[in-house]
Structure 1
Amino acid sequence: MAHVHRTGGGWAPPGSGPGVRRRTARVLAALLIAAPVAACTIQKGPFPGGTSSPGGGPSVLAVKIDNVRAARPPTGLEAADVVYAEQVEAGLSRLLAVYASRIPADIGPVRSARESDLELLRQFDRVSLAYSGVQTKLRPLLAAAPLTRVSPGQAPDAFHRSDTRPSPHNLYVRPARIPGPAPVRTAAAETGFRFGPAPSGGRAESTYSVRFPAARFGFTWSKERQAWQVSMDGAASRTSAGGRLAASTVVVQYVKVGPSRFGDRSGNNTPYTETVGTGEAVVLRDGRAYDARWNRATPQDGTEYTTGDGRTLPFAKGQVWVVLAKR
C-alpha cells in the first residue's frame, strides 16, 4: 500500500494507427510547455510537439524508464511533458515518461512494459511506446493494443547500451532513429489537464512524500525555481546532465492497485494499476496542496481533476508528475 506523509528532434511514430478512437483528443498529456495563460482564464493545453492524426489528437512518444538506484541518474527525463510513477513487482516503482513538446536525443535507461501501461496510454490518439521487452504471456495484449511498439526487436538501430553501468540498467533509446516521418510541430489537442492561475484555497505545503512498499517519492517546494524538486528513496533526483529534477505540478492520484495475471522471473506478481474510474487526489502547485477528485470515464478519455465543489483544478505550466498511489 502506498502511504502519504506531508509536513506542511526528429521523432514521429510510424504509421497512422488503427483509425479514429472516440474522445481521445482529451488526453492526459503534456501540454505543459503551452503558450502563457492569460490572467483569469483556464487554458486547455496545446501539444506543440505533437503531430496530427486522423482523429485530430496528438502523437506522443512514451518511454518506460528504470528508476531503481542502479539505474540513476536518468537521461532525458527532464524533457518529458508528463512523468507517471507506478508500482511494479516487489513493491518497487517504474516511470513512464511522455514526450511531445521536446524530444531529447537520448532517453533511458529503458525497461520493460507492463499491462497497466496499455490502459494508461489509451488516452492518446496515437502513441509509440519504447520499451526493452515484455514477458511472454503479455505479448498478445501488447500486440493488440492501439499503439506502435518500439523495442530492440522492432527498431534495433534506435537502441544502444552504455558501458558505464551494468545490464539491465544500461539500455537507451535514440528517438531520432525510430523509423517514421518527421513530426509536424503545429498540432494542438485538448487534454484532461487544464492550465491556468492557481485556484483559491488549498493549504501551504513545503514537502510531500508518497511511499510504495519498497520505494518512496518526495517533493520539496523550491520558491526560487517555482517547482517541486524530486527525490527518490530519500535522495535528491538528478539527471545525467547534473540538473535537479523538478515538476511544476505534482498529482498524487489514488487508484486501485491489485494483482494481475502476470509475474516476474522471481515469482513476484505484477501489480495492475487501474486508471479508469474515479477517486481522490492531491494536487501540488505553487507551494500549496489541493484536495481533488479525478475522473476518467472510459479508457479513451483523458483524466479530469476537480476541486471539492466540482470546478476544474488548473495546473501550473511546466512538467507534471502523476504518482499513482494505492488507495
Structure 2
Amino acid sequence: MRRTPLIPAVLVAASLVLAGCGGGSDSSDGSSPAAQRVAGGDEVAATWPLTGLPVSGSDEVAQEHPVLVAKMDNTYASSPQIGLGSADLVVEELVEGGLTRLAAFYYSDIPDRVGPVRSMRASDIGIVGPIGATMVTSGAANVTINRIKGAGIQFFAEGSKGFARDSSRSAPYNLFADLRSVAAEAKTDATRPDDYLPWGSESDFPQGQPAKSIAAVFGGGHTTNWTYNGKGYVNQNTYAAPGDTFPADTVLVLRVQVGDAGYLDPAGNPVPETKLTGKGEAMIFHGGRLVRGTWEKSDLTAPLKLSTKAGALTVPAGHTWIELVPAANGNVTFAKK
C-alpha cells in the first residue's frame, strides 16, 4: 500500500499555513499543531489528506487504518443513502445504463453504517490507486476482481466482517457495511496517506467567473444538479438521507475519456470504463465561482495535477465532490444565478 513519506517539520509547517486558510465546515482555532509526531519521533503534516483541513483537538492524522472507499449505489432505489455526511471526499463515476455510482472516501471520520454498498468497476483503479485506499464493496465481476487484485488494491466484500443485509429493503439495494469493523480488519501501522488533491488556501484560488448552479450530465442517463447557497454546494437531486448529505465546499469536474470494460452487466448492458489517466478539461466550482483549467494524471496510481495557463492550480481545503463527466457525450452547464 502506497504511503506518504515522513515530512520534515519545516515543510509541514509551511503546508499548514496554506491548508489552515482553506474553506470548509471545519475551522482552525490556532490550537492545531503544525505537525504530529509518529513512531520514531518523525513528523507528518497535521492536515487531513482527503480535505487539506487542519487536524484539531486530540485527533491523530496518522490513523491505524487505510483510507476506506465505499462503493455506493446512486439511483432512486438506493434512497436513502446512509453515511455520505461523514465522507471526506466523494467521486461520482459513470456505470452501465448511463447511471452513476459513488466512491465515498472515509478517513478522518469512520461511521458505523454506510450504503447501500454496490460492486466495483475497473474505473476504480485510477480513483483509489493514488492513495493506496482499501475498497468496501459488494463484490465485482471476475474480470474486474482480477484487475483490482492485479493493481494491488485491497478490498473487503460481502461475507467479510461488518457487512449485513437490511431486510426492510429490496436486494441488491440492501447491503450495508459497518466501516468501523472494516477498519479494524484492515488495520495498518499508523501512517498518514498522501494528499488526494493539491490542497491550497482561499487566497490561492483565482477570481474566476460567477457560477451559482451546476448541471453535470453523464450522457443522458443521469444529471447531478448543484446550487451554491452562500456557504457550499447543495446536491439538488441527492438520494442521501435527510441530515446526512455530503457537505460540498467544492465541486471539481474532470472531463474524462470513457472506454468499454469488455463485458456486459447481468441486464446485457455494456460496462463502461472511465480512463482516469492522461489530460483533460477541469472545472473547479468554489465559493460560487468557476475557474477553468486542465487536469493531468500520468498513470493510474499517479496523483492528480491541476493547472491553468498561469501555472499550478490548487483546490481550497475542504470537502470536495469530484464529477468524472464523459468528454464525448457528457456535458456541464452552469448559471450565474
Report the counterpart of residue 12 of structure 1 in structure 2. none
Distance 1:91 1:165 in 2: 24
Q: CA deviation at 1:130?
A: 0.6
> Does residue 1:79 correspond to 2:86, yes or no?
yes
Distance 1:302 1:44, change over 3 A: farther
Equivalent position amino acid for 2:315 in 1 = F
Report the counterpart of residue 262 of structure 2 in structure 1. 261
User: How does the TM-score come out when normalised to structure 2?
Assistant: 0.76
Distance 1:142 1:291 in 2: 32
> Does residue 1:142 correspond to 2:126, yes or no?
no
Structure 1: unaligned runs, 5 residues or longer: 1-16, 26-33
Alignment of structure 1 residues 299-310 onto 2, 5 Å: 299-310=300-311
Alignment of structure 1 residues 221-236 onto 2, 5 Å: 221-223=228-230, 226-231=231-236, 235=237
Distance 1:200 1:263 in 2: 43
Distance 1:67 1:266 in 2: 17
Q: CA deviation at 1:243?
A: 4.3
Report the counterpart of residue 317 of structure 1 in structure 2. 317
Report the counterpart of residue 187 of structure 1 in structure 2. 192
Distance 1:238 1:318, change over 3 A: farther
> What secondary structure, in the 3-state scheme, does the structure 1 residue paired with 2:325 have?
strand
Distance 1:191 1:70 in 2: 30
C-alpha distance after superposition, 1:210-236 (max 9, x if no partner): 11221110110011xx101013xxx3x
Report the counterpart of residue 101 of structure 1 in structure 2. 108
Hey, which bits of structure 1, 4+ residues long, moved more than 6 A? Answer: 183-186
> Does residue 1:161 correspond to 2:161, yes or no?
no
Q: CA deviation at 1:288?
A: 0.3
Equivalent position amino acid for 1:230 in 2 = N
Equivalent position amino acid for 1:261 in 2 = G
Distance 1:183 1:239, change over 3 A: farther
% of aligned pairs identical?
26
Q: CA deviation at 1:73?
A: 2.0
Distance 1:52 1:242 in 2: 27
Q: Which moved more, 1:129-138 or 1:105-114?
A: 129-138
Q: CA deviation at 1:301?
A: 1.4
Structure 2: unaligned runs, 5 residues or longer: 8-17, 24-44, 50-54, 328-337
Distance 2:80 2:192 in 1: 32
Contact 2:200 2:316 (C-alpha < 8 Å) held by counterparts: yes
> What secondary structure, in the 3-state scheme, does the structure 1 residue paired with 2:312 have?
coil
> What secondary structure, in the 3-state scheme, does the structure 1 residue paired with 2:172 have?
coil
- Cα-Cα RMSD: 2.9
Aligned residues: 284
> What secondary structure, in the 3-state scheme, does the structure 2 residue paired with 1:142 have?
helix
Distance 2:167 2:291 in 1: 44
Distance 1:168 1:301 in 2: 33
Contact 1:21 1:300 (C-alpha < 8 Å) held by counterparts: no
User: How does the TM-score come out when normalised to structure 1?
Assistant: 0.78
Distance 2:265 2:227 in 1: 33
Distance 1:51 1:79 in 2: 18
Equivalent position amino acid for 1:75 in 2 = I
Match 1:202 to one of 184, 200, 208: 208
Q: CA deviation at 1:128?
A: 1.1
C-alpha distance after superposition, 1:157-195 (max 9, x if no partner): 310111332111111000122243657777364443212
> What secondary structure, in the 3-state scheme, does the structure 1 residue paired with 2:316 have?
coil
Q: Select the structure with the greater relative contact order (CA < 8 A; seq sep ≥ 6).
A: 1
Contact 1:50 1:100 (C-alpha < 8 Å) held by counterparts: no
> Does residue 1:118 correspond to 2:125, yes or no?
yes
Report the counterpart of residue 21 of structure 2 in structure 1. 37
Equivalent position amino acid for 2:140 in 1 = V
Alignment of structure 1 residues 211-222 onto 2, 5 Å: 211-212=217-218, 213-222=220-229
Distance 2:193 2:155 in 1: 23
Contact 1:91 1:215 (C-alpha < 8 Å) held by counterparts: yes
